[in-house]
Amino acid sequence: MLGSIAAAGAWIRKSKEYFVELQSLREKKVHQERQSLMEMEVRLERLMEKHVAQEIQRKAMKSDMEKLTRASKQLFERADRATEQLKDLMNEQEK
């Protein structure tokens, strides 16, 4: 009987050791997962900052292009008016 009690005691001690080891492994895994999540959050934040900066730059470029387009259109309109005025002057001189 004492032998079976001793065996049961040894089994309980061994089970406790396994439980402690399992708990330690779980804690390590949780720590690693938290660390990984924190690293991903940092990367995501950097990407978001980069995206925002690129979006601001894109909007500024779009605005500049719109301004240049308007200026170009105005120049073409002026050139067309000047051409018309020259034609009118030449027609008057021919008369």
pLDDT tens per residue across all 95 residues of the chain:
767 888 888 899 999 999 999 999 999 999 999 999 999 999 999 999 999 999 999 999 999 999 999 999 999 999 999 999 999 999 888 86
Residue for token digits 């032998």?
3
* DSSP label at residue 30: H
The b/e string for 5-38 (b: 16+ C-beta within 10 A; e otherwise) is eeeeeeeeeeeeeeeeeeeeeeeeeeeeeeeeee
Distance (Å, whole) CA 84 – CA 86: 5
Burial class of 50 by CB neighbour count within 10 A (0 to 12, 13 to 18, 19+):
exposed
Global pTM value: 0.56
